[in-house]
Amino acid sequence: MIFDVIRKKFVVLQPEEWVRQHCIHFLIEEKNYPISLINVEKELRVNGLRKRYDIVVFNSDGSIHLIVECKSYKIKIEQSTFDQIARYNLTLDASYLMVTNGINHYYCSMDMEEQRYQFLKDIPEYKS
Is residue 127 one of the residues assigned to a domain? no
pLDDT one-digit tens code per residue, 26-54:
999 999 999 999 999 887 777 777 878 89
125, pLDDT greater than 70:
yes
Return the DSSP state at 123: P
Is residue 79 one of the residues assigned to a domain? yes
Strands (E), the chain: 38-40, 43-46, 49-52, 55-58, 64-70, 96-100, 105-111, 116-120
Per-residue pLDDT, 9: 54
Of 2-6, 29-33, 55-59, 79-83, the poorest mean pLDDT is in 2-6
The answer to whether the beta carbons of residues 1 and 21 sit under 8 Å apart is no
81, pLDDT greater than 70:
yes
Per-residue pLDDT, 61: 94
> Closest Cα to residue 57, out of 42, 78, 75?
42
Is residue 58 one of the residues assigned to a domain? yes
Where is pLDDT greater, at 14 or 88?
88
When pLDDT is cut at 50, 70 and 90, the band that residue 10 belongs to is: low
Write the CB contacts of 24 (distance below 8 Å, at least 6 apart in sequence): 38, 40, 55
Where is pLDDT greater, at 5 or 12?
12
Is residue 128 one of the residues assigned to a domain? no
Per-residue pLDDT, 12: 65
Per-residue pLDDT, 11: 58
CATH of residue 99's domain is 3.90.1570.30
Per-residue pLDDT, 46: 74
Please list the helix, strand and coil fractions of the chain in percent, rounded to the nearest 5, in that order: 30, 30, 40
> How many secondary structure helices (H) and strands (E) does the chain include?
3, 8
Angle subtended at Cα 43 by Cα 13 and Cα 114, rounded to the nearest 5 degrees? 110
Per-residue pLDDT, 119: 92
Is residue 73 one of the residues assigned to a domain? yes
Domain total in the chain: 1
